[in-house]
């Protein structure tokens, strides 16, 4: 069995570091790991996508459309664009953050206003204000990528201690303590949501069980 994780966002959000952290964790857990990175103007807000695949044996580094188990999206529109990679029932962990691309910034296009609803009608959605949470719990909004990784970690089945060891190996010592706190907060949020799903408090689309699942009959 292979686990497929797609990380999507824009340049400057720490996408590549996040991919390396996930891969490092999977390696420490004893899995075969393959990664692939696709990015344009990574330093100027261009799209950045990292594919991470791990399992007993992995042959290709690229996630095929319709097979991703998790989509970790650091920007809302990039998350929406990446939905075709998810398998049915795949989980979307979405940062509540919008960075309009150039065509929107110059007035040629409009930024979609219904992204959360669009995603929730199709896949389980966990929406996180990662910048706010990272600032409150890690002391720096730039740690949002590690906080979101903590959310993801709660769903993977890999022990938390393994993730924390990978974090220690990936982050410079002077930034480690804040990143530990950000990761811990993310893991807490992810574990709480997972428990709600297990208890039936939310349905497979992340909506309250008393409501119909959006977009599904």
Q: Please tell me which residue, 216 or 48, carries the higher pLDDT value.
A: 48
Neighbours of 140 (CB within 10 A): 16
Strands 47-55 and 2-10: antiparallel
First to last CA, the chain: 30
What value does the CA radius of gyration of the chain take, rounded to a whole number of Å?
17
At residue 209 the predicted structure's pLDDT band, cuts being 50, 70 and 90, is very low
Which residues, 6+ apart, have CB-to-CB distance to 210 below 8 Å? none
Q: Please tell me which residue, 172 or 208, carries the higher pLDDT value.
A: 172
pLDDT of residue 30: 97
At residue 212 the predicted structure's pLDDT band, cuts being 50, 70 and 90, is very low
pLDDT of residue 45: 61
CA 49/CA 99 separation, integer angstroms: 16
Share of the chain above pLDDT 70, in %: 89
The mean of the pLDDT values for the chain is 88
Q: pLDDT tens digits, residue range 72-128?
A: 999 999 999 999 999 999 999 999 998 877 777 778 888 888 999 999 999 999 999
Which residues, 6+ apart, have CB-to-CB distance to 217 below 8 Å? none
Give residue for tokens 């929107």. Answer: 104
* CATH number for the domain running over 2-97+112-199: 3.40.920.10
pTM (two decimals): 0.88
Q: Are 50 and 11 in contact (CB under 8 A)?
A: no
pLDDT of residue 42: 45
Instruction: Give yes or no for residue 204 having a pLDDT over 60.
Output: no
């Amino acid at each position: 069995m292979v686990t497929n994780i797609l990380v999507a966002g824009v340049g400057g959000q720490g996408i590549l570091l996040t991919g390396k952290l996930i891969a490092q964790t999977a390696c420490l857990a004893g899995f075969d790991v393959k990664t692939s990175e696709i990015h344009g103007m990574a330093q100027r807000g261009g799209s950045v996508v990292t594919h991470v695949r791990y399992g007993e044996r992995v042959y290709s580094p690229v996630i095929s459309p319709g097979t991703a188990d998790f989509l970790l999206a650091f920007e809302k529109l990039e998350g929406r664009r990446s939905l075709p990679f998810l398998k049915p029932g795949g989980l979307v962990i979405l940062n509540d953050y919008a960075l309009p691309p150039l065509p929107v910034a110059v007035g040629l296009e409009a930024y979609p206003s219904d992204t959360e609803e669009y995603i929730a009608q199709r896949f389980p959605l966990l929406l996180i204000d990662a910048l706010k949470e990272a600032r409150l719990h890690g002391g720096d909004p730039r740690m949002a990528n590690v906080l979101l990784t903590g959310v993801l970690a709660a769903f993977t089945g890999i022990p938390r201690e393994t993730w924390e060891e990978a974090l220690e190996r990936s982050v410079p010592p002077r930034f480690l303590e804040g990143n530990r706190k950000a990761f811990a907060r993310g893991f807490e949020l992810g574990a709480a949501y997972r428990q709600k799903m297990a208890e039936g408090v939310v349905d497979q689309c992340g909506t309250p069980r008393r409501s119909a699942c959006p977009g599904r009959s």
